Each structure stands twice: as structure tokens, then as C-alpha cells.
Structure 1
Amino acid sequence: MTRAFHDFAATLGYADIPEAARAVLRRSFLDTMGVAAVASTTQMADIARRTAIALYGAGTQGAARILMDGTPVSPVGAAMAGAFTIDSVDAHDGSSPCKGHAGSAVFPSLLALADMKKGLDGADFMTLLAIAYEVSYRAGLVQHATCADYHTSGAWTAVGVATAVARGLECTGEEIRHAAGIGEYHGPRSQMMRCIDHPTMLRDGVGWGAPSGLTAAFLAKAGFTGAPALTCEAAPAFWEDLGDKWRLVEDTHYKPYPCCRWAHPSMDAAADLMQAHALHHSQIAGVEIRTFHNATRLAGYRPATPDEFAYSIAFPVAAMIVRGQVGVPELAEETLRDPDVLRISTATQLIDDDHFTAISQGKRWAEVTLVLKDGQRHTSAPRTPRGDRDMPLSDAEISQKFHLFADPVLGRHRSEEIEDHCGAFDSLSSAGFARLLDLTLTNADEQKPAARRYARNIVAS
């Protein structure tokens, strides 16, 4: 290992972060806050908030406000509630090579730290984000390469969160090393395919990965030992270029749709076929989706809950065919009962393709055939989803998505101020960054009650 991960975390400065990495983190800040806004209206977020308030008082360390809510609790409670909130709408950034998500754990944890600690400026926060993302992604790659089971993002983000929060607490390199070990050991080794096969609010495990990592950092600061973190120290090949090559630049993707990434190439293919052949959904007799093995386990022909919708493939593809979009309105309960969508969803066949399974390592492949009532068949070329680095969403598309999610909850004025701040957050003074904290952590009911009620009705579960 040319540079130990804990030395990297202890010594990284803002000037060491390349502009390409800074640009990704600015995008992720905006994208994640849009998801957090609409997600704050869900039942899952409400349960997490109420539980954090009931169980995680501020204590003696200092309070942190719950994301998009404002209630002061402990930093651990704020991280837990915030991570569950973001994870309740599956539209946040991710990493296909890691088969998961970092931002949904990293942002609520570091925002909680910043709110508790006070005085951080934008460059400070950017540095912590860079550490958290980079360590999370590399720990995730190691875990997938060395563990037989497919664990949720909560397992490896606990390591990244622990490392970055320990740096934020001004831990030494050795204390950071112990924080990572504690976070890894106590992080949730939850089985992702269990939630694919039986979708519930457990989702991607970040609701426990975030507070586990944050707690690990505080323990290490107090002298608790836990090194080594095997994901950081037992597979040096994954860490040799740390600080030279940035995984967060190479691997971060953004979602145009609020559902599992594995469904996205099929949704894109279906949308393109409908447009290319000027089709109406009434012409469709059935759909054939040829894709990789794990995606075929996203059944969900008749999802009954938002969780089942998030981890389905046939239903979102059918919604795309019928409505031409899968956005906030498609999260509404009545969409799950739409007869046109249900007709096509139940007429969809998922085909487990060995070739797509073999090549879906770091990418997600699918091919879609639309079978028409007159017997015609229209088949797409094999494809991967929009939002990856080779087919990135534009800045305009990221902004459009943010406002689609945030405006009904926060109001246009507040959303625009968040966008302005996120677009250059690393240049903010401590006072400017404190304002961004207020914008993202303030109770939205007080800011825009009518709009928030409207959004809550849209995504009511």
C-alpha cells in the first residue's frame, strides 16, 4: 500500500482534491438533498424521525438536527433518521461497481457532525465528504471481492463514515484506523438479496450503517480500539492508487428514476422503443426483459407498497410504457392500482440471461422486446442505464430532478437557495455553510406547510 488509508484520511487537504472529484461532490450534495426533501414526506422517514426523537436525546456531546425536520437529537440519532429518510426514496447517487450507495449514509452523518460541531466551512466539509466517499467505495469493492454474501451498503459505508467523522473529530491517524475497524466490525452485514426477495423498509442498510460509523468515530476518539478494518488493510491491491485515482469520480452514478438501478436499463430501453416506433400503451400485448440474474429477482408484478415498487422491474417498466415517465407522481399509492400499468406489468416476462449476468460487473445490462397486439415485435439493442459516467445526466437534468423532488416540499425559493449553495458549497465561509445547514436541516412544515402536505399526499404510503 503506497499510502495507508488512515494517513490519507488524517492528512488530506482541500487542495489535494482534484476538481473532477469536487464537481462530483457538488452534484451529489444537490442530488441527495432533492431526494431527502421528497423522502421526508414518507411513512418510513416519519417512523425513523419519531424513533430517533424517542431514543436518541442530545446527551452531553451536543445536539444535531434531523435532516429536513429540525428536531434536535444526538448526532447518532440524526444520522440514523437522515439515512433512513434518504433511503426511503430510491433515487440517490450510487456506485455500480459497489452495487450500492454511499451518499445516503455519508451526507446525513457528516451533516449531523457539522451541525453538532459548528464552525466548519465549505472546504472543511468537502474534505470530509471526499474521505467518506473514497474510503466507502474502496471498502465496498474489497467487501464484494472477498465476501461470499452480498451485503448492503450499510456494511461498507459504516467504514467510510467512521473514517471521515474521526477526521472531523480531529483524531490521529491511528485513532482513525481504529475507528474504521470499529465501524467495520459493528456495521450491519445485512443481506441485500433478502430485501430484494422480500422488500420492506430495511432497504439498503444505511439506516444502521450511518449511526454505526458515527458511533465508531466517537468511540475511537475516546480510546476504544478496533483495528484493523480488513476491508482497508487486508486487500492492499484495492488501495494502491489511493489519492492518485479517485473512485468517486470513476464510479458515481446518478438516477433519473426513483427505483432500483437494476431496473433502469430496461426502463430506458422501453422508453426509447415507445418513442422510436410512436407506440401507445394500448398497442402493447406483452414485454420481454432479458437481463442479468439478480435483476430477474426484482419481480414486483403487483407491488402493494412503496418498498415493493422500489425493488421491482416489471412494474416500473410498465409505468414507463403507460405514462412515459417514472417520477414523483408514480410514487403515489394510486399508481400501484393503475389498471393500464398492471395489465402490462403482469404481461411482462423476465428472462435470466447468462451473458448479461457475466458482463454485469460494474455495469447493468438489459434488452427489452415489446410484443404488440398485432404480432409485431420491437427489440432494443442491449444497453446499460443513463446516469453512468459513459452516459451522464447533464447538469440541467440533475437540476430538473432536484426541483421536481424539492419544490413541492420546500417551495421554489428555498429550493433555489439550496441549489445555489450546493453548486459552490466548498467556497462557502463558515457563516455561509451554516446557512446551508439551516436550509437542509430546518423543519419543512414551518417553511412551506401547504406544499409539504401536498408532497406527503403524493408519496403517501
Structure 2
Amino acid sequence: MTLIEHLAEFATHTRYAELPPRVVEECKRDILDSIGCALAAPGQPKADMGIECAIRIGGNDGPATIIGTGQRSSIFGAAFANGELISTLDADSVLLPGHVSPYVLPGAFAVAEVARRSGKELIEAVAVSHEMSYRFGAAMSQNRDYKDGKAATAPVLGYSSTVFGATASAARLKRLTADQVANAFGIAAAITPVNAHRASLNHAPPATIKYLMAGALTQSALTAAEMGELGHRGDLQMLDDAEFGYPRFIGTVRWEPKALTEGLGVEWRFPDFQMYKPYPHCRVMHAPLDILIGLVHEHDLRPDEIEGITAYGEGWAYVLPSFMFREIRHVQDAQFCFAHGLALAAHRIVPGPKWQDPKNVFDPSVMKLMDKVKLEIHPTYFDEIAKHPSSRPSRVEIRARGQTFRGERLFPKGTPSSDPESFLTTEALAHKFRTFVDGLMPAAAAEEVIDAVLHLEQVDDFSTLMRKLVNQPKKRRS
């Protein structure tokens, strides 16, 4: 078999009864977290533009739900909107190749809702999409690649390979045959969005489409699944041909196809690497944010007392314009400006949508404190990464009251690691969900959604859950 045919067999034949309990649990945790991020997004500029574009694509009287809005569109329209909604706050989970959920879940949600699939079938599709996405990320160039003790950031990077996981989840829920799925993968390879993330890292301020427009990738994946179903023939050799095929034109320097298929269907690798974000800010800064927030609360530090903040962190990131810029023009800039994130966190604002409320983003006190932030590479960063590849060694020093308050952390909250305190429990994810939707839906409705997702295997018709995902119009942000 070609690599594509091998992946198609995996995508088609995986069964819920064969999934390890941890895989099932991780799928449900990520679905809950992603829905919470989407519900909290309407009212944000990126989200509202995504919703409007979705209506233009798929109309406003279709069978699929646009999360949080009460509006309905076509499968294509709802998937576009929901991808944009999940990614709006930059609070969605992290998994190789970087982010996965905004790309692979929206199409699955829309197809499962319209086809009235069960919760078990959705879990099967999500497990397949996440495992495939992780394995593509492991096979290709990554943001945090290192060579000879130094950062070796490749010239072309991105999350476009999630198109395979996104196609798999939609095709599986459409109940396509293995041959149809293989052809859908071949088509998906040929229409993958470009890998533009490396350019975004070097430009400031960041574009509001971010590293990859989620809505656009959902369209490619759904198109591939539809064309596979209709009988179009894809190029099944795309992944086997390193000279002219997918590895070459997607721009990866590293290509290790063994990572795609070794132990596939027997070894489930993604749960060990899926990370969750307590803060709506670039994951690179989560360890420094953990430290700073802890110091501020422990010592009851007020923003006007702080004379300076120095954060020591990731060697590959602390030199890139997309993170080092300080001219905040748009609320979304707050997601990627490291200095601003630390200044805002020092004001004890509850992590969630409030971090991108214009009143907080452009607060004169926050902007003033941002100018007192210094960013340095952690002195032992590369040594620690060599020992613990998933670590993010960080240190924060806060100068206030004539003293220096210090903290150090190896793993941020939300990371599976050797430190049990870094793991974000399911109850912690439920708390994050409640915080994100606070004031947007009644508490009882939020609890109903949490319970339904955490018992998704008992849901007979996924459409009943999707139709619960509506914010109160009078509470929706303007």
C-alpha cells in the first residue's frame, strides 16, 4: 500500500470499542475545550468577520449550527465559522504540528450534526484526526527544532498538514469507503493551503488570519471529502514521493514517513502530547505567565508598585518580530505580544475573553507596565530542552518595593509532563469552560453542555448537543 492507502485504512476501520480509555477521554476533553473557546468568541472582530463570511459562503438557513450565535448555515458555512471561532482567542489546545482543533473539529461537528451521528462516531473521528495530525507534525519540520544546541527554525513551517486529519474526520462521519477516503487524501494533498507560518513569525504586527486561517483549511478538507465521495481520483503517491510530492511542495526540510505509520492503530501517541491553554495568549508565554501570576498573588503586588519585569524564556521565540513587537493596534495583537501579555496578567484580570476586551488591552496602566518588561533567553534553555523536549524552561523576576521577586518553572500548566502539577485536569478544563462562557449563557445551560460532552459516548444524536451551543443574544458582546 502507499502511505495514503495505509492512512485511509486506519481512518476507515478504527472502532470506538478498540479505543483505549485515555484516547476517548482526551477526545472529549478537547471537544469541550474547543467548544468553550468558540462560545466565548462572538463579539471579537476576527470571530464576527468569520461568521459574516460563513453566511456569505453557506447562507443563513442551512442545517448546521454556527456556535454561540443561534444562526445556521450549510456544512461548509458552519465549518468555516466554527473554525474561526475556535481559533479567535488563541486559547485552543496545542498539539503537533502546533494547533489542530480549529482545523479538524469544525468539519466533523458540521457533518456529525447534519448526518445525526452518535457521540461514539464523533469520538472515533476525532481520535483518528488527532492521531493523524500529530503524526504528520512529528514527521515534518517543527517550530521548536534544534541542532547542535541551537534553534534550527526551518525556512518553511505551518499547520497545513492538518488537512489530512480534517479530511479524515469528515470523510469518516460521511461513512466513506477506504478507497474513497484514500482518494480524498490524495485530493487534500493537492489543495492544501500553503505553509505560511514561518513568514508570520518574522512579520509584525501579526496578521489577523494568524498562522493559518482555520476556516479556509476546513473548506479544503470538506471539498476533498466531497470529491472523494463523488468518485474523483486523487494522487495516491503524494506522500511516497519525497522528490516531487507532498514533502517537497509543502516545504518541509525534514520528512520522516515512518512516523506516519509505525504502530498506527495500535500505539496512540497524541494523548501524551496534547496541551491545553489556561491563558488566551501564545503558548510560548504560558510558563512565564504561570510564574508572574503566582508571584503577584503570593506577594500581593500592585501594578503601580512594579518597577520592572524580566522574563527569561524560549530561545527560538524570543528573537522573532511576531512576539517581540510592542505596537498594539488591534485587540488580537495582545495574543502574541509577550511584553503586553505579562503586563496584562500583572493586573489580575481573569484569563479568558476579558484579556482581549479593548478596555483592558488598551488600558493606560497596562500599556505603561508593558514598557517596563524585558525579555531574555533563558540561560539554560537549550540544555533543558535537550533533556526534556516538552519543557519550556522559564524564569520571571519582578522588581517592586525595593526587592526582586523571582520564580522558575520548567513545564507550564496544561502540559503532560513529569511534573503532575502541570497536567490540566478535566475539572480544571470544565472550570475554564465556565469562566469563558460566564455571562454569555446561563450557568445551568453551561453545566448541561459540560455534562453532555464529558458523557459524549452516551449521546445518540450529536445534533441535540450542537443546538444547545447558543449564547444569550442580550449578553453577546457588541
* Counterpart for residue 473 of structure 2: 449
Classify 1:354/1:176 alpha carbon distance in 2 versus 1 (closer, same or farther; 3 Å): farther
Q: Which amino acid aligns with 1:394?
A: T
Classify 1:234/1:350 alpha carbon distance in 2 versus 1 (closer, same or farther; 3 Å): closer
Classify 1:354/1:141 alpha carbon distance in 2 versus 1 (closer, same or farther; 3 Å): farther
- The answer to which of 216-225 and 261-270 deviates more is 216-225
Q: Within the alignment, does 1:86 sit opposite 2:110 as a pair?
A: no
- In the TM superposition, what is the alpha-carbon distance from 1:278 to its structure 2 partner? 4.2
Q: Within the alignment, does 1:263 sit opposite 2:282 as a pair?
A: no
* Counterpart for residue 65 of structure 2: 65
- In the TM superposition, what is the alpha-carbon distance from 1:77 to its structure 2 partner? 1.9
Asked whether the 8 Å contact 2:170–2:222 carries over to 1, the reply is yes
* In 2, Cα distance between equivalents of 1:57 and 1:283: 53
Asked whether the 8 Å contact 2:34–2:93 carries over to 1, the reply is yes
Matched positions, count: 440
- In the TM superposition, what is the alpha-carbon distance from 1:149 to its structure 2 partner? 3.6
Residue deviations 1:126-159 (CA, integer Å, cap 9, x gap): 1111111111111122232699445333x02211
In structure 1, runs of 5+ residues without a counterpart are none
Asked whether the 8 Å contact 2:91–2:278 carries over to 1, the reply is yes
Q: Within the alignment, does 1:251 sit opposite 2:273 as a pair?
A: yes
Q: The residue matched to 1:220 in structure 2 has which SS?
A: helix
Q: Which amino acid aligns with 2:257?
A: A
Q: Which amino acid aligns with 1:152?
A: G
Classify 1:10/1:400 alpha carbon distance in 2 versus 1 (closer, same or farther; 3 Å): same
* Counterpart for residue 148 of structure 2: none
* In 2, Cα distance between equivalents of 1:56 and 1:122: 25
Classify 1:275/1:64 alpha carbon distance in 2 versus 1 (closer, same or farther; 3 Å): closer
Q: Within the alignment, does 1:152 sit opposite 2:183 as a pair?
A: no
Classify 1:295/1:439 alpha carbon distance in 2 versus 1 (closer, same or farther; 3 Å): same
- In the TM superposition, what is the alpha-carbon distance from 1:42 to its structure 2 partner? 1.6
Q: Which amino acid aligns with 1:177?
A: A
Q: Which amino acid aligns with 1:369?
A: E
Which of 367, 372, 378 in structure 1 is aligned with 2:400? 372
Which of 444, 465, 470 in structure 2 is aligned with 1:413? 444
* In 2, Cα distance between equivalents of 1:163 and 1:110: 9
Q: The residue matched to 1:381 in structure 2 has which SS?
A: strand
TM-score, length of structure 2 as denominator length: 0.85
TM-score, length of structure 1 as denominator length: 0.88
* In 2, Cα distance between equivalents of 1:132 and 1:92: 16
Residue deviations 1:370-410 (CA, integer Å, cap 9, x gap): 22352x33332242210011311223321111011123222
* In 2, Cα distance between equivalents of 1:415 and 1:267: 27
* Counterpart for residue 195 of structure 2: 190
Asked whether the 8 Å contact 2:308–2:398 carries over to 1, the reply is yes
* In 2, Cα distance between equivalents of 1:414 and 1:195: 38
Q: Within the alignment, does 1:221 sit opposite 2:229 as a pair?
A: yes
* In 2, Cα distance between equivalents of 1:403 and 1:152: 31
* Counterpart for residue 377 of structure 2: 352
* Counterpart for residue 203 of structure 1: 210
Which of 165, 171, 179 in structure 1 is aligned with 2:170? 165
Q: Within the alignment, does 1:6 sit opposite 2:4 as a pair?
A: no
Q: Which amino acid aligns with 1:104?
A: P
Q: Within the alignment, does 1:235 sit opposite 2:257 as a pair?
A: yes
Asked whether the 8 Å contact 2:97–2:136 carries over to 1, the reply is no
Which of 355, 360, 363 in structure 1 is aligned with 2:391? 363
Classify 1:228/1:310 alpha carbon distance in 2 versus 1 (closer, same or farther; 3 Å): farther
Classify 1:325/1:294 alpha carbon distance in 2 versus 1 (closer, same or farther; 3 Å): farther
* Counterpart for residue 138 of structure 2: 141
- In the TM superposition, what is the alpha-carbon distance from 1:173 to its structure 2 partner? 1.8
* In 1, Cα distance between equivalents of 2:390 and 2:220: 27
Q: How does 1:107-118 map to 2 (within 5 A)?
A: 107-118=105-116
State the percentage of identical aligned residues. Answer: 25
* In 2, Cα distance between equivalents of 1:28 and 1:241: 23
- The answer to which of 412-421 and 293-302 deviates more is 293-302
- In the TM superposition, what is the alpha-carbon distance from 1:48 to its structure 2 partner? 1.4
Classify 1:409/1:325 alpha carbon distance in 2 versus 1 (closer, same or farther; 3 Å): closer
Q: Which amino acid aligns with 2:180?
A: E
| Consecutive aligned runs of 4 or more in structure 1 exceeding 4 Å deviation | 231-234, 357-361
Asked whether the 8 Å contact 1:177–1:229 carries over to 2, the reply is no
* In 2, Cα distance between equivalents of 1:75 and 1:192: 27
Residue deviations 1:329-385 (CA, integer Å, cap 9, x gap): 2221011222322222111111134742565544333221222352x3333224221
Asked whether the 8 Å contact 1:187–1:208 carries over to 2, the reply is no
More helix by share: 1
* In 2, Cα distance between equivalents of 1:229 and 1:168: 24
* In 1, Cα distance between equivalents of 2:104 and 2:313: 31
- In the TM superposition, what is the alpha-carbon distance from 1:12 to its structure 2 partner? 0.5
* Counterpart for residue 422 of structure 1: 453
Q: Which amino acid aligns with 1:200?
A: A
Asked whether the 8 Å contact 1:159–1:181 carries over to 2, the reply is no
Classify 1:338/1:149 alpha carbon distance in 2 versus 1 (closer, same or farther; 3 Å): same
Q: How does 1:36-55 map to 2 (within 5 A)?
A: 36-55=38-57
Classify 1:101/1:273 alpha carbon distance in 2 versus 1 (closer, same or farther; 3 Å): same
* Counterpart for residue 303 of structure 1: 328
- The answer to which of 253-262 and 99-108 deviates more is 99-108
* In 2, Cα distance between equivalents of 1:426 and 1:228: 36
* Counterpart for residue 430 of structure 2: 399
Asked whether the 8 Å contact 2:391–2:410 carries over to 1, the reply is no
- The answer to which of 311-320 and 276-285 deviates more is 276-285
